[in-house]
């Protein structure tokens, strides 16, 4: 399976369990690895035979900016399901970064990584 990766998609969302997170929002960063077969697209040099990663990026940002959820696990699942709506995408790995998580000790990042597939 071939891989198309999008790294560092940024969007502001209002996800979290604390009122401040819901009210003020924060930046979330998303990395994606889409698993698909790109041979037909490459052979014909045809965008219609692969995934349009620009469209996927816009859809992911819409999910992050959309309806708030408590957990980044739920957000990652919603992103994965959106990616799998694209016919050629057989598998997706989603990493959601929450660099401004409400943690009381110094840290660089909090992430959740999930992998989902059609199978």
The region, left, alpha or beta by phi > 0 then psi within -120 to 50, assigned to residue 51 is: beta
List of residues 6+ apart from 107 with CB closer than 8 A? 101
Whether 10 is a known active-site residue: answer no
Instruction: Record the tokens describing residue 100, joined without a space.
Output: 């401004």
Q: How far apart are CA 112 and CA 30, in angstroms?
A: 10
Catalytic residue numbers read 98
């Amino acid at each position: 399976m071939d891989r198309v990766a999008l790294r560092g998609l940024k969007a502001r969302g209002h996800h979290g369990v604390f009122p401040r997170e819901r009210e003020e929002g924060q930046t979330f960063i998303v990395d994606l690895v889409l698993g698909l077969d790109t041979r037909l697209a490459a052979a014909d040099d045809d965008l219609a035979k692969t995934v349009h990663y620009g469209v996927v990026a816009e859809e992911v940002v819409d999910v992050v900016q959309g309806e708030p959820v408590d957990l980044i696990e739920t957000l990652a699942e919603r992103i994965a399901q959106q990616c799998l709506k694209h016919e050629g995408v057989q598998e997706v790995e989603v990493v959601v970064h929450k660099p401004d998580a409400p943690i009381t000790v110094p840290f660089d990042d909090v992430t959740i990584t999930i992998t989902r597939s059609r199978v």
